[in-house]
Amino acid sequence: MPNPTAAILIIGDEILTGRTREGNAWFLAQELVKVGIDLRQIRVIGDDHATIVAAVRELSVAHDQLFTSGGIGPTHDDITADAVADAFGRTIGVREDARAILAAHYAARGLEFTEARLRMARIPEGATLIDNPVSSAPGFSVENCHVMAGVPNIFQAMVAGLLPRLTGGAPLRSRSLQLMVPEATIADALRALAEAHPEASFGSYPFVTEGRYGTNLVVRSTDPAALEGAFAELQATFPEGQ
């Protein structure tokens, strides 16, 4: 059976204006590989209601799982929860269990439970909460769409709680070999290997270090035996590799 597929939707003007370097998609990409969910697309869009609604609809239909990051805080530019509710045709309002989680968190810290903070208890109807062990304001899942915070340490904590709930597949495994030659010099041999091993994928990634050209060759497969077979041939083809 093929692995389930996924997309990641990053929401935030601060990424599109170059103010912030996105890192949540990179983190989640590595986690999805481990649990056997095939990431097919990462998309970054701005804080615009219609754009978020359209992207959530398109990506949730086209993939088994959709993960979003950003836009669920207390300020006026946090519009993801309302947009996701619209995308799935659901109502949204303050939910009692989410409100209680926030109330307990602020009470324990002597912080005021303001109107702005109450905004973070607005959850689409029928959603499942995603635990936030960092700052308590929960994420949520609606159908196959998992809505999480943009702040990196909160995003990572939410992913840790969410992923065990999802059905994965065979983890994608990889082996790599580094050669200190330009990639063009090994292109023909690598193509022949790739054609001989359709059960694995072969990637070639050039780099320059201290003025010398090098190439990282990466073999990937969800089948451990196929991976080892293909990697053994790669090593035999390029015995100088490390």
Nearest to 119 by CA among 67, 159, 161, 82: 82
**Residue 185 touching a second copy (CB under 8 A):** yes
Backbone angles phi, psi at 208, to 5 degrees: -125, 130
Size of the site for a second copy (CB under 8 A): 69
- Nearest distance from C-beta of residue 61 to a second copy, angstroms: 15
CB atoms closer than 10 angstroms to residue 61? 9
Angle at which helix 24-35 crosses helix 152-162, to 10 degrees, equals 20
- Nearest distance from C-beta of residue 125 to a second copy, angstroms: 24
- Per DSSP, 140 falls in state E
Distance (Å, whole) CA 241 – CA 178:
5
Contact flags string 146-175 toward a second copy, x per CB under 8 A? -----x-x------------------x-x-
Is 96 in contact with 62 (CB distance < 8 Å)?
no
Distance (Å, whole) CA 145 – CA 148:
10
Name which position in 3, 37, 47, 230 contacts a second copy (CB under 8 A).
Answer: 47
Name which position in 100, 107, 184, 196 contacts a second copy (CB under 8 A).
Answer: 184
69: β partners: 10, 148
Report the site for a second copy in 187-226 (rule: CB under 8 A): 187-188, 190-191, 194-195, 201-208, 218, 220
**Residue 43 touching a second copy (CB under 8 A):** yes
Q: List residues near a second copy by CB under 8 A.
A: 10, 13-23, 25-33, 39-47, 51, 73-77, 111-112, 114-117, 119-120, 151, 153, 172, 174, 182-188, 190-191, 194-195, 201-208, 218, 220
